[in-house]
Structure 1
Amino acid sequence: MADLINVQLCYAAPLREYFRALSVARGTTIEQAIRQSGVLQDLPGVDLAAQPVGIFGKKRPLDTVLREHDRIEIYRPLVADPKESRRRRSEKKAAAA
């Protein structure tokens, strides 16, 4: 029997949170764990080709090998450019002053 490690998978959709604890074989990649988790069947809108993934808030490629207690995160596409949002807030703040 393969040596197993425990990892977590999370994805936050606008109206739903998805969290699953998994036991996977040592040497499993992020992509393999995501496919094993069933998230792609549960949430058909998730597209690994278009959406970045990461571990504990740091983007990682799908072929990254997992370690014990890693938390895999699937990131949603941005709806607004952060730089543009900051610029609008600063303009609004300057106009109010």
Structure 2
Amino acid sequence: MAVGWAGDDSVSQQIQHNIDDEISRVRRNLITGESAQFCDECGEDIPEARRNAIKGVRLCLHCQSSLEHAYQRSSLFNRRASKDSQLR
């Protein structure tokens, strides 16, 4: 049963919006093309095994891990603490 202004399916809609947002983010970040020999961030050599394993890799393992960690920290705030993200 819905309470207030929310519709009966508002929870399902919010879950679907979250899934759609995450799919869009992953598609935007897909890497294609030729792998770089040197990291775009720090300039260190990217090992050949990493270049062969991941098509279009642009960052070394350390820089990629730092980037993903920073993104994860910033994306968690809105999903858990903001009422706007829950009411969309």
Fold agreement, TM-score > 0.5:
no
| TM-score relative to the length of structure 1 | 0.28
Q: Please identify the structure whose Cα radius of gyration is greater.
A: 2
Bigger share in strand = 1
Bigger share in helix = 2
| TM-score relative to the length of structure 2 | 0.30
